[in-house]
Structure 1
Amino acid sequence: MSEFDIELQQVRKSFGQVSVVRDIDLQIPKGEFVSILGPSGCGKTTTLNMIAGFSMPSRGDIRIRGRSQMKVPPEKRNLGLVFQNYALFPHMTVAENVGFGLRMRGVARPEMKAIVESALRSVHLEGFSDRYPRELSGGQQQRVALARAIAPQPSVLLLDEPLSNLDLKLREAMRAELKEIHERLGMTFVYVTHDQEEAMAMSDRIVVMEGGTIAQQGVPGDIYRHPASRFVAEFIGQSNILPVSAYSRSAAGYKLSIEGGPVILAGAGADSPASVGFCSVRPQNVRLVGVDDVPPGMNRLEATLRRVTDFGAHQELEVVIGLGHRLVLQHPPIAAGHALAPGQMVTLAVNPSDVRLLAV
């Protein structure tokens, strides 16, 4: 028995001359919550469809629990599926929808009733058995779809952007519910999304895709703090990307000249890409300080304030440094009478350990 529930080995998918997925390798251990994250057209849904069996790879192998699935139809793969549009039967009750797959498998009525009730309890929908989809909210419909997928007790659950049709508050509530269900059932979840907040909130591991390839994979915090490329730095959260014209390393760290001058940034850390082209600094790691209040060892930047946006809990400041490079930073609300104004000169501080090197 394989230690992995799902393995993709050099999987490629082409439509004519266009390669949508390009030679990806991926291993998903039993019980892990993995999100495949990326923008539209990156190949994430195609990858999920190949795992499900709806689309066959042009090359490579897909293995589920150690067995190749290249000749196994979707209905024989023991996978649960949850779609973006729920795909509930409007003329069936909640119980009938949840039990549909079981009925197709010939499960006896008493056993089916017990399984459906257990699945509905898992998604906190006890007492909803006799309702129809039109009588449910969007979040309740999504939970019915989830109950239907887990009722046959699959070893792996595939979810294709299941929360994208819900409003913000409901999406946030469903994130917590999905994570709770995953932890309770111990089932392997493969979750496709373009929403990096969703992926960060729920996943044990994130697989970031770009142009049909895996750009980076790892635990959410590591990907956020240590992006492997400019694409990942920009896609996972907000990031200030600055072009680097010169780079030198010493025992104390490194120094970067920002393109166009006269900005110099010191950085800390031993790791660096083979060819440095950019650096990144997260907005929350840029501090607004007084002219004489830059802490020792911190980078000092002089900037011109361009914009202030008040989000209530914090203010977002847009500034310009050097010869026109834009930076965004987050700052606590400023007391009345001390407001910042566009055009004002400000001083910023950046810790060298928060400067990340990125490849060309």
Structure 2
Amino acid sequence: MSAIDVELISVSKSFGPISVVTNIDLKFPKGEFVSILGPSGCGKTTTLNMIAGFSAPSGGDIRIRGRSQVDVPPERRNIGLVFQNYALFPHMTVAENVAFGLRMKGTPKSEIGSIVQSSLRRVHLDTLADRYPRALSGGQQQRVALARALAPRPSVLLLDEPLSNLDLKLREAMRAELKEMQQELGMTFIYVTHDQEEAMAMSDRIVVMWKGAVAQQGDPGSIYGDPQSTFVADFIGKSNILTLREVTSTGAAWDAAIDRCDIRLRATRGKGDARYCVIRPQDIQPLVDDAPVPEDFNVLRGMLRRVINLGASLEMSIELAPEIHVSVLVPSAGSDALPAPGQQLKLGIPACALKLLAD
């Protein structure tokens, strides 16, 4: 038995002259929670539909547990599906909805009742088996959809933006439940979302897609901390992206000149062909004028233009030069030490916090 549950080999998809997915290679190991993340129109749902069998690839191969699935219909792929709109049958009770896939699969009637009961117990809905979907909240309907998808015991569960219709608090609660469920079952989850917080919170690995291709993949920490392009840096979390005029080597570091101003920054991550400098807002630190500054810090001054209160943190907009602004994120607890908008302040940026990128 293959240790890889799903594998995409040079998979492409076109609709007439429009290329939606271009020559992607992906492997989904058994028991991994993988999120396919990207903006609308990047090809992530098309990729999921090809894995499910709802759409045939224009080129390449899709293998499930080592076997090609190109000509295998969806119902024979042993894959569970959870959709954004839940797709529950309104005329069926919760128990009947969960039993539907089991009946279609030919599960003996004597076994269906116990499987339905255990599936509903897993999602904490065993007391609502006789209710109809219209009598359930959005979160309860989502749990029914999960129970229905898991009841036939698929080897892989595909989830297409399943939490997007829920409010923020419920989404956060369901994120934790989904992750716990996946770990308990040891099942491969392939989760499509445009929400980077969801992907970061749940995933063992994130596949970032852009314009039908894989822009970057890796664990959440490496995707966030070491973006390989300005697109990934901007899409995963917040970033300050500054255009560079030139980059020169200083031996152990790089001297990066910011375009349209006389600011130069020292960076230890990047290459000499870089055109952009990426700095996370939380890596820029306000400094007290007479306090000692670490040797590896870039020190510069700017004017505080505005402060946005985000609750636990404050987001400051700092003007470093005409038309050159950066965002700085600091804890709300330090708000008393900040100057008023319109005043100058001193900033420090560790050289290791700057990432120089070519595109």
TM-score by length of 1: 0.96
Matches within 5 A, 1:110-125: 110-125=110-125
User: CA–CA distance in 1 between the matches of 2:175 and 2:336?
Assistant: 40
C-alpha distance after superposition, 1:129-162 (max 9, x if no partner): 1111111111111010000000000000000000
Partner SS state of residue 276, structure 1: coil
Q: What residue number does 2:170 align with?
A: 170
Q: 1:183 to 1:280 in 2, by over 3 A?
A: same
Residue 332 of structure 1 and its aligned partner are, at CA, apart by 2.3
Residue 342 of structure 1 and its aligned partner are, at CA, apart by 1.9
110-119 vs 286-295, which moves further: 286-295
Code of the aligned partner of 2:342: G
TM-score by length of 2: 0.97
Are the equivalent residues in 2 in contact too, given 1:308–1:340 (CA < 8 A)? no
Residue identity (%): 60
Q: What residue number does 1:249 align with?
A: 249
Residue 322 of structure 1 and its aligned partner are, at CA, apart by 2.7
Are the equivalent residues in 2 in contact too, given 1:233–1:280 (CA < 8 A)? yes
Are the equivalent residues in 2 in contact too, given 1:286–1:349 (CA < 8 A)? yes
2:79 is the alignment partner of 1:79 = yes
RMSD: 1.4
User: CA–CA distance in 1 between the matches of 2:300 and 2:292?
Assistant: 9
User: CA–CA distance in 1 between the matches of 2:234 and 2:7?
Assistant: 28
User: CA–CA distance in 1 between the matches of 2:335 and 2:61?
Assistant: 63
Matches within 5 A, 1:315-326: 315-326=314-325
Code of the aligned partner of 2:13: K
Gaps of 5+ in 2: none
2:232 is the alignment partner of 1:232 = yes
Residue 123 of structure 1 and its aligned partner are, at CA, apart by 1.2
Are the equivalent residues in 2 in contact too, given 1:273–1:358 (CA < 8 A)? yes
The count of aligned residue pairs is 358
Are the equivalent residues in 2 in contact too, given 1:294–1:300 (CA < 8 A)? no
**Runs of 4+ in structure 1 over 6 Å off:** none
Q: What residue number does 2:352 align with?
A: 353
Partner SS state of residue 127, structure 1: helix
C-alpha distance after superposition, 1:193-217 (max 9, x if no partner): 0000000000000000000000000
User: CA–CA distance in 2 between the matches of 1:157 and 1:307?
Assistant: 45
User: CA–CA distance in 2 between the matches of 1:313 and 1:44?
Assistant: 33
C-alpha distance after superposition, 1:61-82 (max 9, x if no partner): 0000000001100000000000
User: CA–CA distance in 2 between the matches of 1:277 and 1:337?
Assistant: 37
Residue 267 of structure 1 and its aligned partner are, at CA, apart by 1.1
Q: 1:124 to 1:301 in 2, by over 3 A?
A: same
Are the equivalent residues in 2 in contact too, given 1:294–1:349 (CA < 8 A)? no
Partner SS state of residue 266, structure 1: strand
Q: 1:94 to 1:265 in 2, by over 3 A?
A: same
Residue 310 of structure 1 and its aligned partner are, at CA, apart by 1.5
Are the equivalent residues in 1 in contact too, given 2:299–2:347 (CA < 8 A)? yes
Code of the aligned partner of 1:280: V
73-82 vs 338-347, which moves further: 338-347
Q: 1:28 to 1:273 in 2, by over 3 A?
A: farther
Code of the aligned partner of 1:244: L
Q: What residue number does 1:302 align with?
A: 301
Residue 252 of structure 1 and its aligned partner are, at CA, apart by 2.4
Q: What residue number does 2:161 align with?
A: 161
User: CA–CA distance in 2 between the matches of 1:273 and 1:176?
Assistant: 39
Are the equivalent residues in 1 in contact too, given 2:206–2:219 (CA < 8 A)? yes
User: CA–CA distance in 1 between the matches of 2:336 and 2:144?
Assistant: 53
User: CA–CA distance in 1 between the matches of 2:312 and 2:235?
Assistant: 23
Are the equivalent residues in 2 in contact too, given 1:53–1:73 (CA < 8 A)? yes
User: CA–CA distance in 2 between the matches of 1:251 and 1:273?
Assistant: 12
Gaps of 5+ in 1: none
User: CA–CA distance in 1 between the matches of 2:244 and 2:235?
Assistant: 20
User: CA–CA distance in 2 between the matches of 1:294 and 1:211?
Assistant: 46
Code of the aligned partner of 2:349: V
Q: 1:338 to 1:216 in 2, by over 3 A?
A: closer
Matches within 5 A, 1:25-174: 25-174=25-174
